[in-house]
Amino acid sequence: MTELQSLTNLKSGTYFITGTDTDVGKTVCTKALLQAASKQHKSTLAYKPISAGCEETHLGLRNEDALILQQNSTLKVGYDEVNPIAYKQPIAPHIAAIENEQPICLTLINQGLDFLQQQQAQFLFVEGAGGWHLPINNQQLFSEWVIERQLPVIVIIGLKLGCLNHALLTVKTIEQSGLTIAGWVANHLQHDMPYVEQNINTLKEFIDAPLLGTIPFLGNINEQDLSLYIDVNFNG
């Protein structure tokens, strides 16, 4: 059996990337997936519909995470296609929307996804903001949009004390929505988490979806080949 045959298979298509909390490494893991798919000669795109915490530039607001996704996609589209809704303040997006009097528009998000899907990348990764139940206004959650679009989900689990509860709550909620969990990625958030392997093994027992990779604690990911930590055979 070849190495690729022994890996988890991921079919071409669109995947939603969510996390067990904010700051658990969704962008790090999405970059790793993009790099791994590219190394297997697959075409890729990434989409971050909503971002908060952007810098003002001469080109407009720019989000660091969205730029990373744009730079690591094999197909090239404009920044506004990658990140159509951007807020300067590093706060909950629905609060930033109120503060800026710029509501989050699902029509715009749908149009953006439709446009990227029309580019026919073999793999399109849609990165969420925060955790699974992100409010986009005082009545709606972003997870409701994911359910409406029927996107399979990849869950990013930040390895830290409390991650088991956060992970299992997130996974259970996604499963109850009727969506497919295509897999999960374990991301080390600290250099020396006690009993980390035992925690990963517990997650393997409770999550009925494959572990797609384990990313170690890395001080600087900018120049790193994160594909080394992804155990996936990308099927075009």
pLDDT of residue 222: 77
Give domain limits for the chain: 15-235
How does residue 118 score in pLDDT terms, banded at 50, 70 and 90?
very high
| DSSP track, the chain | --TGGGSEEEESEEEEEEESSTTS-HHHHHHHHHHHHHHTT--EEEE--EEES-EEETTEEE-HHHHHHHHT-SS---HHHH-SEEESSSS-HHHHHHHTT----HHHHHHHHHHHHHTT-SEEEEEEEEESS-BSSSS-BHHHHHHHHT--EEEEEEESTTHHHHHHHHHHHHHHTT--EEEEEEEE-STT-TTHHHHHHHHHHH-SS-EEEEEPP-S--TT--GGGGB-EEEE-
pLDDT of residue 6: 67
pLDDT of residue 2: 44
Is this structure's pTM higher than 0.75?
Answer: yes
How does residue 51 score in pLDDT terms, banded at 50, 70 and 90?
very high
How does residue 163 score in pLDDT terms, banded at 50, 70 and 90?
very high
Report, as residue numbers or ranges, the catalytic residues: 48
pLDDT in tens, 174-196: 999 999 999 999 999 998 899 99
Class of 15-235 in CATH: alpha beta
pLDDT of residue 4: 52
Residue 39 has pLDDT above 90, yes or no: yes
